[in-house]
Structure 1
Amino acid sequence: MNRKEFLRNGMLGGAALTLFSGRALSNEPEHLEPFDAMAPFNMKFSPDFDIFNQGDGASFEEQLEWGYDSGFRAWESTWLSRSTVSEQKEIKRVMDRLGMDFGQFVGTMSFKEVTFAGKDKAIRERVLREVRESVEIAKRMDTKYIHNVLGVADPKLPWDFQMANAIELLKQVAEIYEPHGLVMVMETMNHKINHPGMFLHEIPQAYAMAKAVQSPSVKILFDVYHVQIQEGNLIPTMDYAWDEIGYIQIGDTPGRNEPGTGEINFKNVLQHIQDKGYRGFVGLEHGISGNGEEGDKAALKAYREVDPK
């Protein structure tokens, strides 16, 4: 199953899936046919590999070059840790050549286990091992954002105990990341459509945990798609949690596609983010509603229309 199918089925929550196995960077790529070269976006929009139809069958290098030609100056790759070290270095080499910045990747993730909310020693030790491994990947890619998923809730354990367990483990993660200037971002995932069992599912919950940890290395990933479904009230919710938000991702709802395909007023939301002074990554955590080149053109046009001034 490819990344687009994962997004459509809601199997990955806020994490954008890219499968590196079986995909190699081409030394001499057959360059994708670009659209007319476009000016850079004002906002730091950050696609993932294989979001756009142009990515189907294309090498990572071709996709990055196409993205640059289309106006993107940033990129993220959720499953970067599943690539080889040589692939990671090559992706970074291409991005350096193009002058693009790298955003988030996943350090630890489970959609089946009680990782942060529980007390299983072996599971928690594995989480911390994966967190330590993510430090070297972040250095290799010259990024400070690592997306760690907090796992599922334990229905047999009182909620306050789960919160205490999660805060304790988050503090240990912070101790690993702080010396390196790295930031773990944790994403709330909606219970209503995509992920009814996930432990972290509301912004106030994430905010309370970030405040309890009190570390610059533990922040919130605010995924507009999930927040709209779970809570709504996007701008006031964002404003209240603003000091603990470290990363933003977007996708319209219903459908989880590009802006303009659903109910969210992205022109207002993104302008509000820009006006508040945010100049960080805005991950494109969604699919493309149209097919082929025309679908990509329509999505790029939609982004031009909501790009803040």
Structure 2
Amino acid sequence: MERRKFIRNIGLSGALTGFGGVVSVKGSSLFRNQNDSIKGTTFNLNYAPHFGMFKNHAKDLEDQLQFMYDQGFRSLEDNGLMKRPKEDQKRIAHKMTKLGMAMGVFVIDGGGNWKTSLTTGKKEFREAFVNECKKAVEVARLVNAKWMTVVPGFFERKLSMGIQTANVIEALRRGAEVLEPHGLTMVLEPLSDTPELFLRHADQTYMICKAVNSPSCKILYDIYHMQKNEGHLISNMEACWSEIAYIQIGDNPGRKEPGTGEINYENIFKYIHEKGYKGILGMEHGNMHPGKDGELALIEAYRQADPLL
């Protein structure tokens, strides 16, 4: 049976019925047996889970990191890292260093808070964003991070698109001036959450990155959002590839793991691998099924979609 259909059929048939760590599929203990046999084997692409994704297997932050590592994941994504107490940041950094794991993106709130929009050109918003960039430098240094997510904010109806775009470019240039000396990169994320958001398309983000003209301002290509907003995923990624520095994952509809929606992740991962992408792919989605069985099914979904070498 085709691998994608196999994963999908598991979800549609309600086959995740095991409650002792065993998932029953037509009488077999598929996920437990496969998971045990490949435990610790790294994936061919560098997928990054987030805290809470495997909460039924581990509760403490360090234990969750250990579980991720044991399943073959070599990176972590933590959007809310800047809001964590400094002691937690240190604990995370220490455990990741010990395991040899890399940190994916975290969110710069000064630009990511949709209530404060860089489109307006208002000095107070621009300065707040620059100050958050300065704080992000300290957090990045502590956890050895390289990328941070930025969302410019809401569309400003009182201003033309050209003026809004110029305002965003100016603010991002200021932010890049803070990050560039440290070798850090803010990644701009076009989103689909609401049509009122300013940044929604890959080509729009590509144009802004070209205008900012800094290695510290690139694209975060979230496959879930881009499928919703524009589709043609591979061709659009190809057109914008030179400015893409980070990728996020989520199937559509539902924003769950690969194989649970309409996106052909096997083809997309194959394309990304053939492009020679060595960066992180953030697993910014939920789990299709609850409990330990659902978490094991999620891991198996990535094993099935991961490109062969």
TM-score, normalised to structure 2, is: 0.85
Deviation at 1:213, TM superposition (A): 0.9
Contact 1:115 1:127 in 2 (8 A): no
SS at match of 1:50: coil
Residue number in structure 2 paired with 1:62: 63
Residue number in structure 2 paired with 1:274: 273
Could you say if the C-alpha distance between residues 221 and 72 of structure 1 is closer, same or farther in structure 2, counting changes exceeding 3 Å?
same
Alpha-carbon distance between aligned partners in 2 of 1:173 and 1:43, rounded to the nearest angstrom: 30
Alpha-carbon distance between aligned partners in 2 of 1:292 and 1:186, rounded to the nearest angstrom: 33
- The worse-fitting range, judged by mean Cα deviation, of 45-54 and 82-91 is 45-54
Contact 2:53 2:295 in 1 (8 A): no
Residues 142-157 of structure 1 aligned to structure 2 (within 5 Å)? 142-157=144-159
* Deviation string, structure 1 residues 161-217 (Cα, Å, up to 9, x no partner): 000100111111111111111101010001xxx222111110011000001111111
Alpha-carbon distance between aligned partners in 2 of 1:53 and 1:83, rounded to the nearest angstrom: 18
Letter of the aligned partner of 1:102 in structure 2?
M
Residues 1-309 of structure 1 aligned to structure 2 (within 5 Å)? 36=36, 37-54=39-56, 58-108=59-109, 109-190=111-192, 194-309=193-308
Alpha-carbon distance between aligned partners in 2 of 1:232 and 1:208, rounded to the nearest angstrom: 18
* Deviation string, structure 1 residues 39-59 (Cα, Å, up to 9, x no partner): 111110001111234267x11
Alpha-carbon distance between aligned partners in 2 of 1:87 and 1:114, rounded to the nearest angstrom: 27
Contact 1:222 1:245 in 2 (8 A): yes
Alpha-carbon distance between aligned partners in 2 of 1:113 and 1:145, rounded to the nearest angstrom: 22
Alpha-carbon distance between aligned partners in 1 of 2:129 and 2:215, rounded to the nearest angstrom: 20
SS at match of 2:282: strand
Alpha-carbon distance between aligned partners in 1 of 2:263 and 2:288, rounded to the nearest angstrom: 15
Deviation at 1:76, TM superposition (A): 1.1
* Deviation string, structure 1 residues 144-163 (Cα, Å, up to 9, x no partner): 11112211111111111000
> Which structure has more helix as a fraction of its residues?
2
SS at match of 1:152: coil
Contact 1:177 1:217 in 2 (8 A): yes
TM-score, normalised to structure 1, is: 0.85
Could you say if the C-alpha distance between residues 110 and 174 of structure 1 is closer, same or farther in structure 2, counting changes exceeding 3 Å?
closer
Deviation at 1:121, TM superposition (A): 1.4
Could you say if the C-alpha distance between residues 64 and 161 of structure 1 is closer, same or farther in structure 2, counting changes exceeding 3 Å?
same
Deviation at 1:308, TM superposition (A): 1.4
SS at match of 1:54: coil
SS at match of 1:184: strand
Contact 1:81 1:134 in 2 (8 A): yes
Alpha-carbon distance between aligned partners in 2 of 1:306 and 1:54, rounded to the nearest angstrom: 23
SS at match of 1:308: coil
Deviation at 1:245, TM superposition (A): 0.3
Residue number in structure 1 paired with 2:12: none
Contact 1:271 1:308 in 2 (8 A): yes
Alpha-carbon distance between aligned partners in 2 of 1:210 and 1:112, rounded to the nearest angstrom: 20
Contact 1:201 1:230 in 2 (8 A): yes
SS at match of 2:219: strand
Letter of the aligned partner of 2:137 in structure 1?
V
Contact 2:114 2:151 in 1 (8 A): no
Alpha-carbon distance between aligned partners in 1 of 2:56 and 2:269, rounded to the nearest angstrom: 25
Contact 1:49 1:55 in 2 (8 A): no
* Deviation string, structure 1 residues 259-305 (Cα, Å, up to 9, x no partner): 00000000000110010010100000100001111111111111001
- Spell out structure 1 runs of 4+ moving beyond 4 A: none
Unpaired runs of 5+ in structure 2? Answer: 1-34
Contact 1:114 1:153 in 2 (8 A): no
Contact 2:129 2:175 in 1 (8 A): no
Alpha-carbon distance between aligned partners in 2 of 1:92 and 1:255, rounded to the nearest angstrom: 32
Could you say if the C-alpha distance between residues 243 and 210 of structure 1 is closer, same or farther in structure 2, counting changes exceeding 3 Å?
same
Number of residue pairs aligned between Structure 1 and Structure 2: 271
User: How much identity, in percent, do the aligned residues show?
Assistant: 42
Alpha-carbon distance between aligned partners in 1 of 2:81 and 2:116, rounded to the nearest angstrom: 23
Unpaired runs of 5+ in structure 1? Answer: 1-34
Alpha-carbon distance between aligned partners in 1 of 2:298 and 2:220, rounded to the nearest angstrom: 23
Could you say if the C-alpha distance between residues 103 and 110 of structure 1 is closer, same or farther in structure 2, counting changes exceeding 3 Å?
closer
- The worse-fitting range, judged by mean Cα deviation, of 84-93 and 249-258 is 84-93
